[in-house]
Amino acid sequence: MKQVSGTCPLSRQQVIQQYFLEHRARLLDVAAFLDRLDRSSDSGEPDFREIALRQALTVLADDQPHRTARILHLLSDHTTDLPQSAHGMKGALGAVRLGEGAAT
């Protein structure tokens, strides 16, 4: 992937000044979610969505370009088969179930 630089009209300081508190709150929200998982009443195996979220956190911190696209790829369902029935479906899952069309 090509490194893209200089495409934001704001300076680094302006970006921080304008968006830091908003994203600080979002990180705290993710941390609170992970804390709730740690305190959950069972210690079962991690759900595929938890695994995908934790993988996304490593991408977030890897300091490589195109983090948004790479995280979106991790948190997207890449299956192409349509379900035979919508019975029991409650909406999007936000990640692909392990072993069901997961792109590595």
pLDDT digits (tens, 9 = 90+) for 68-79: 999 999 998 887
Distance CA 93, CA 56 (A): 15
Q: What is the pTM of this model?
A: 0.72
In angstroms, the CA 73 to CA 84 distance is: 25
Query: What local confidence, expressed as pLDDT, does residue 6 receive?
Result: 73
Query: What is residue 13's predicted lDDT score, i.e. its pLDDT?
Result: 96
Spatial contact of 79 and 96, defined as CB atoms under 8 Å apart: yes
Q: Residue 89's pLDDT is what? A: 63
CA distance 47 to 95: 10
Q: Calculate ∠ Cα 66-68-73, nearest 5°.
A: 100
What does pLDDT average to over the chain? 84
101 pLDDT above the threshold of 70: no
Residue 78: per-residue pLDDT: 80
Cα first-last separation, the chain: 16
